[in-house]
Amino acid sequence: MALRVVFMGTPDFSVPTLRAIAEAGHDVAAVYTQPPRAAGRRGLELTPSPVQREAERLGIAVSTPLSLKGDEEQQAFRALQADVAVVVAYGLLLPRAILDAPRFGCLNGHASLLPRWRGAAPIQRAIMAGDAETGVMVMRMEEGLDTGPVALTSKLSIGPDMTAGELHDELMPACAALMLEALAKLEAGTLAFTPQPQEGALYARKIAKAETRVDWSWPARDVHNHIRGLSPFPGAWCEFEAGGKPERLKLLRSTLADGAGEPGTVLDDGLTIACGAGAVRLTEVQRAGARPVAAPEFLRGARLSTGMKLS
């Protein structure tokens, strides 16, 4: 028998899970997502979230509350009489009244191997820290941030040059498949939970603009992990001199390289840059207002020569 589900999610990452639940025949009573936000070149047009667009395509009722703390919103949620709420990157805290409303509580699809990387940016933080492995987990939600007991885990290796965008795209279908497995076990009465260990918990705080600039004094491996962990969004960056003034350059891909020199120095005509220890080769970059390009194309226009410095 199909479950009656409330789905709660917002970004692209959440969409495959919503689609899979609907296609599996579960009764999706409603979708909760973040309200439309200002977007576009001038920031004037209100744009619905990817989850809202998918819900509307599927013909599912959408709710976009600013908060779930009020009595009216909580009563409306309880009135849905859900068996379970499925939460994937929703973006709002769920108060106790919401967590307790569904018959089987709330299941969260989280993109890390808990307790490592609880919080808002687990994909980026895993790569920035140089982790070799991550995954997705289905957990039962509690009032604490990603502290609930875990039911299912799917692990994934992180390649040495993999970007956050690439990892995001691999984890999306993995999350959808794992959540379908969890719902099947929930229906069968066989979904079991194991408390998270207390050791090894790390908080994956939201990426701040202030930390996106590359620090060339870091060791090469840290610089490389920083670049790929922030690619493609929000993007690590540095500045180079163009026409006698500094120009911002977004760094999208890199690889570790041989070389040494003053941090930030261009070491060759292949865009190898010296770091505090070792060097990285920049392989894909983006100038302000331009499209991403491979390093050779960038160098044809920028004409960075050996010995010049990036800052």
Burial state string for 92-111 with b = 16 or more CB within 10 A and e = fewer than 16: bebeebbbebbeebbbbbbb
Instruction: Give the amino acid at 172.
Output: M
Query: Each residue of 213-240: pLDDT tens digit?
Result: 999 999 999 999 999 999 999 999 999 9
Q: What angle do the packed helices 15-23 and 164-188 form, to 10 degrees?
A: 30
Task: Report the predicted TM-score, pTM, of the whole model to 2 decimal places.
Answer: 0.94
pLDDT in tens, 107-122: 999 999 999 999 999 9
Q: What is the pLDDT of residues 19-52, one digit of tens each?
A: 999 999 999 999 999 999 887 665 668 899 999 9
Q: Quick one: pLDDT at residue 153?
A: 98
**Exposed, middle or buried, 144 (CB in 10 Å: 0-12/13-18/19+)?**
exposed
pLDDT-derived band at 303 (thresholds 50, 70, 90) equals confident
pLDDT of residue 278: 98
Enumerate domains of the chain plus CATH numbers. Answer: 4-188 (3.40.50.170), 209-302 (3.10.25.10)
Tokens 């941030």 identify what position?
145
How far is CA 300 from each of CA 96, 201, 243, 271, 297, rounded to the nearest angstrom? 58, 46, 15, 12, 5
The DSSP symbol for 113 reads -
Using CA atoms, how far residue 69 sits from 22, 29, 172, in Å, is 27, 20, 29
> pLDDT grade, residue 301 (50/70/90)?
confident
C-alpha span between 26 and 88 (Å, rounded): 17
What are the binding residues for (6S)-5,6,7,8-tetrahydrofolate? 112-115
Annotated binding site: 112-115
C-alpha closest to that of 290 among 249, 253, 254: 249
